[in-house]
């Protein structure tokens, strides 16, 4: 992850070209990894003795669910930066992350409920984790709509930053929901402390997919940030110069 560079290149003019150069690499990595992940999950990984083929959804579901939470935390992080040092770039990063986060949240919900039908015999159950994931989707939507609801850029950034920071508390709720309430939903099967309880190929598949999703996220976010920069710094000299060069 090129996270370190955010700080070195934390001024839009410096960051813009860098981002431009990084995008192709991340995109390529994303394509390859996701392809590999899909291959592993559908051809390498063994059929589950009790769940049959349906379980293969897990390879989409779990990484998507992870991303949905990671991205929110990251978004909150950037929001904190933008409030603290009112760094323009961090604000842009935060707002660029939101749509992707929402996408993965939706994916987790979708795959989840697709999976739920065979497993629980219902598309949807009022389970703490499912609900809190749904709420995470609401939070993303809230964040996006709050930004679009305010005309003044500066205010929009700062307000939605506070929003994101307050909302971050929902993430632990999602994660630990399975522990706090006895729910239908699986508990964490991967944990830092104990050895993973699932087959290694499954684990591998999930991890590859997860990394693939990360690459995708970074690529997309960089593209979005470039657009945001161009749109916001229209007037700035360096943009004009660049236009000149093209």
Partner 1 sequence: MNGQSIWLSLLRRDLLLAARRSADVASVIFFFVIAASLFPLGVGAEPAMLRAVAPGVLWVAALLSTMLSLGRLFAADHLDGTLEQMLLSPQPLIMTIIAKTLAHWLISGLPLVVLAPVLGLQFDLSGREILVLTVSLLLGTPVLSLIGSIGAALTLGVRGGGVLVALLVLPLYIPVLIFGAGAVTASAAGLGAQAGLSLVGAMLAVSAVFAPYAAAAALRIALE
Instruction: Tell me which of 32, 35, 44, 162 binds partner 1, using CB under 8 A.
Output: 162
Q: Which is nearer to ligand HEM, 27 or 183 (CB)?
A: 183
Which candidate, 200, 210, 204, places its Cα nearest to that of 40? Answer: 204
Does position 85 bind partner 1 by CB under 8 A?
no
* DSSP letters for 39-67: HIIIIISPPBTTTBGGGGGHHHHHHHHHH
Instruction: Tell me which of 22, 110, 146, 204 binds partner 1, using CB under 8 A.
Output: 146
Phi and psi at 199, nearest 5°, equal: -55, 145
3-state secondary structure of 48: strand
Site string for partner 1, 105-144 (x = CB under 8 A): -----------------xxxxxxx--xx--xx-xx-xx--
What are the structure tokens assigned to 89, written together? Answer: 């770039």
Does position 93 bind ligand HEM by CB under 6 A?
no
Instruction: Tell me which of 56, 129, 224, 226 binds ligand HEM, using CB under 6 A.
Output: 129
| Cα–Cα distance for residue pair 137/146, rounded to 1 Å | 14
Tell me the torsion sign for CA atoms 15, 17, 20, 25: negative
Query: Please, which of residues 37-66 interact with ligand HEM by CB under 6 A?
Result: 58, 61-62, 65-66
Does position 88 bind ligand HEM by CB under 6 A?
no
CA dihedral 144, 148, 154, 158 (to 10 degrees): -30
Identify whether the C-beta of residue 213 lies closer than 8 Å to the C-beta of residue 100: no
Q: Which is nearer to ligand HEM, 159 or 189 (CB)?
A: 189
Instruction: Tell me which of 56, 88, 185, 226 binds ligand HEM, using CB under 6 A.
Output: 185
Phi and psi at 47, nearest 5°, equal: -65, 135
Phi and psi at 26, nearest 5°, equal: -60, -40
Smallest gap from Cβ 228 to ligand HEM, in A, equals: 28
Does position 101 bind ligand HEM by CB under 6 A?
no
Instruction: Tell me which of 109, 218, 219, 220 binds ligand HEM, using CB under 6 A.
Output: 109
End-to-end CA separation in angstroms for the chain: 30
Identify whether the C-beta of residue 146 lies closer than 8 Å to the C-beta of residue 82: no
The binding site for partner 1 (CB under 8 A) comprises: 83, 122-128, 131-132, 135-136, 138-139, 141-142, 145-146, 149-150, 154-155, 158-159, 162-163, 165-167, 169-170, 173, 181
Binding site for ligand HEM (CB under 6 A): 58, 61-62, 65-66, 108-109, 112-113, 115-116, 119-120, 129-130, 133, 174-175, 185-186, 188-190
């Amino acid at each position: 992850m090129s996270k370190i560079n955010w700080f070195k290149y934390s001024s839009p003019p410096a960051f813009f070209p860098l981002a431009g150069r990084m995008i192709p690499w991340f995109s390529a990595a994303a394509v390859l990894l996701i392809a590999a992940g899909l291959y592993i999950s559908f051809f390498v990984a063994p059929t589950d003795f009790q769940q049959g083929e349906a379980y293969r959804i897990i390879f989409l579901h779990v990484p998507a669910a992870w991303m949905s939470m990671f991205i929110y935390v990251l978004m909150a992080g950037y929001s904190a930066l933008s409030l603290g040092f009112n760094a323009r770039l961090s604000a842009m990063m935060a707002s660029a992350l939101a749509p992707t986060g929402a996408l993965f949240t939706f994916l987790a919900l979708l795959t989840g409920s697709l999976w739920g039908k065979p497993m629980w015999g219902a598309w949807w159950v009022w389970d703490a984790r499912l609900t809190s994931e749904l709420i995470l989707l609401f939070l993303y939507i809230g964040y996006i709509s709050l930004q679009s609801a305010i005309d003044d850029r500066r205010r929009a950034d700062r307000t939605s930053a506070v929003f994101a920071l307050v909302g971050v508390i929902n993430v632990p709720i999602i994660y630990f929901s399975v522990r706090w309430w006895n729910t239908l939903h699986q508990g964490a099967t991967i944990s830092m402390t104990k050895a993973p309880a699932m087959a290694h190929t499954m684990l591998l598949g999930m991890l590859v997919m997860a990394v693939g999703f990360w690459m995708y996220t970074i690529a997309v976010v960089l593209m979005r940030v470039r657009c945001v920069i161009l749109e916001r710094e229209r007037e700035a000299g360096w943009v004009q110069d660049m236009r000149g060069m093209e």
